[in-house]
Structure 1
């Protein structure tokens, strides 16, 4: 058991060493990092430990292994700043930063709310809701997947407007003449579900940031409850008051 624990600590130390050297510019974009043999000698560990470290680096997106040639440093992407305020809107956030973006409606359904959804929307369990799953991309990379719910009474026949979907709030403004206003958001670090990891193109052992939010109708009542799962390696949140 001690050896397993020591190996786990060692492979993390090797990964941290490599990450720091990439961040500081010792190993630059498209440059090859030290070979397995070199790392084994440097850290006095066996090849299994080094391969664990490299697998972690690969999963985190720092390097790409090429069969028979070694591992090469990937292009480093700066975290995308997301401004969170009562008027936050994904489309405007990205356009203000000059970033290309895309929102894709993965699936939708109409049915009864869960207890959590009913509580946050302040509706009864027998009232119908729309539940949407939206995957968002920035610069062709998936950044977040969001499950968002609306009381059916607030957005009747919502499915009639899904063709050509590209902006949720744009749809709401155009067809229902309102734009939700954020009233509360709760942040939590967690590991992704397998389906979310697949949608976000990350391993299931890489943490995400989960943001549960309640949005109000301009008249003041809850109209939207959403749970966003955001890639932690691509996200930097700015909260405005």
Structure 2
């Protein structure tokens, strides 16, 4: 398992899909920064600049779609190429699905962590970090953590956004594998963004439980977001993805091979 995991990780990390995903995420963060240079806001440090940029970024809309681009169709491709049959001569089916699930989560986490982390470090190097003050930028999520420590705040934002991306990618991975449709991998994230971010908000369905996936990918704009609420949502998405992979991926494929 370790050998296959290493090979699959290496192949996926350096794939063109991963490279394009990194470029898209970086661009969605960098474009607002370039706009900010034209109309600078005086007195902001690196953390506040990141927060301000996030308010004007489309990462919340683009991020969910990017998660599908990275790895969600990999099992379908393996089946189409007959690669799974060849792998079964070396590893068992359960190991195959475990590795696929692990690689999907790790690589998606890395893509978002690296992109957001690069932007945060770059802004801090340019503008430093100041102590929290009463005259602060608009903080929608976790204001008490921000007031305690900006560094802890930005680390938590980075970790949770990266975890959210991994959880949502697992959900999409499960749906794509269950339906055996590559098109579904790209349609569902767009539909989910519109459904939870536009229609649910318009119908006030995000009042008790906030299903808005846009906030999961851009916590800075998350109005009144709580850490435990965000993490529970991520956990539910992850469990649903794993359940779909198990039921309609592993179980279905296992039955197919047992019949043959």
TM-score bucket of the superposed structures, by smaller chain:
under 0.3
- TM-score between both structures, scaled by the size of structure 2: 0.20
TM-score by length of 1: 0.21
Higher strand share: 1
User: Whose relative contact order is higher, 1 or 2, with alpha carbons under 8 Å and at least 6 apart?
Assistant: 2
Could you say which structure has the larger radius of gyration?
1
Higher helix share: 2
